[in-house]
């Protein structure tokens, strides 16, 4: 499954020992909700947590130079869901990518990114006509021996999301709703007051299906406000 291949390359490029530590600055996600997931970052995100960062990525064929993709991460929560909003500026040279998808990893704070108990969501960029839930909710099948190659698709799809390419602004925009406690053993429970890590990344393919790029941003340390 090519999406897992790309993410494995991304995660292999960093140490797995990148969980939350005491020195991290933990930022609070304010309360709020989205009535509709439409992948257009608008005024509904004005009161959200917002952080501008960059995704560092390399071309798969050579891994010889690093490029940076600007991204703004937004987050809100209500009693039922954690909402993530992503706005990415790929630049004029990247708009011809044939397929673009983002991933979000919620780390449960065990200092092992990619361990059982974390939550991996993968969301392709679609036409925007309806939410894309087909590639969300992967889980880690175990890391011993096979490392994080044990990831498989979680058959119980609990999160929802949508991603759209906006040619008028030159941005990819994504909105994701993640249940705080879905009851799915392969999802991470998000508990108010308990810090967790968030890692955002992407992969891209050309129109022939060849894997071009992948990369990720630095981990954010977050907590849902009480």
- Residue 93 pLDDT: 56
CA 59 to chain centre: 20
Judge contact between 57 and 202, C-beta under 8 A. yes
- Residue 95 pLDDT: 56
Classify domain 2-16+26-224 at the CATH topology level. Answer: Immunoglobulin-like (2.60.40)
Judge contact between 2 and 208, C-beta under 8 A. no
- Residue 146 pLDDT: 34
pTM: 0.86
Residue closest to 188 by CA, chosen among 133, 143, 121, 142: 121
Q: Whats the size of the chain, residue-wise?
A: 226
- Residue 181 pLDDT: 94
- Residue 133 pLDDT: 63
pLDDT digits (tens, 9 = 90+) for 162-184: 998 888 888 899 999 999 999 99
Which stretches in the chain have pLDDT values below 70? 1-24, 61-63, 92-97, 111, 126-134, 141-151
Structure tokens at 182: 């879905």
What's the N-to-C CA distance of the chain in angstroms? 39
* DSSP for the chain, written as a single string: -HHHHHHHHHHHTS-S-----TTSPPEEEPB---S---S---GGGTTSEEEEEEEEEEETTT---EEEEEEEEEEEE-SSEEEEEEEE---TTTTT-SEEEEEEEEE-SSS-TT-BTBEEEEEE-B-SSS---TT--EE----TTTGGGG-EE-SS---EEEEEEETTTTEEEEEEEEESS---TTS----TT--EEEEEEEEEE-TT--EEEEEEPPPEEEEE--
Structure tokens at 211: 């894997």
Structure tokens at 32: 């709020």
Give the C-alpha separation, 8 to 54, whole Å.
19
- Residue 199 pLDDT: 93
């Amino acid at each position: 499954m090519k999406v897992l291949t790309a993410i494995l390359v991304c995660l292999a490029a960093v140490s797995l020992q990148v969980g939350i530590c005491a020195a991290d600055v933990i930022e609070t996600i304010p309360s709020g909700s989205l009535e509709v997931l439409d992948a257009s970052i608008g005024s509904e995100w004005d009161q959200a947590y917002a952080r501008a960062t960059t995704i560092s990525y390399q071309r798969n064929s050579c891994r010889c130079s690093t490029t940076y993709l600007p991204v703004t991460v937004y987050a809100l929560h209500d009693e039922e869901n954690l909402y993530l909003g992503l706005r990415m500026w790929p630049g004029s040279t990247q708009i011809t990518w044939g397929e673009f998808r983002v991933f979000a990893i919620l780390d449960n704070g065990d200092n092992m990114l990619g361990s059982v108990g974390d939550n991996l969501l993968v969301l392709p960029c679609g036409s925007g006509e309806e939410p894309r839930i087909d590639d969300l909710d992967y889980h880690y099948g175990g890391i011993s021996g096979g490392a994080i190659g044990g990831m498989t698709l979680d058959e119980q799809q609990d999160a929802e999301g949508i991603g759209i390419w906006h040619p008028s602004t030159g941005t990819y925009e994504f909105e994701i709703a993640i249940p705080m406690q879905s009851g799915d053993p392969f999802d991470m429970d998000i508990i108010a007051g308990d810090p967790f890590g968030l890692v955002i990344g992407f992969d891209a393919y050309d129109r022939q299906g060849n894997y071009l790029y992948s990369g990720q941003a630095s981990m954010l340390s977050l907590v849902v406000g009480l």
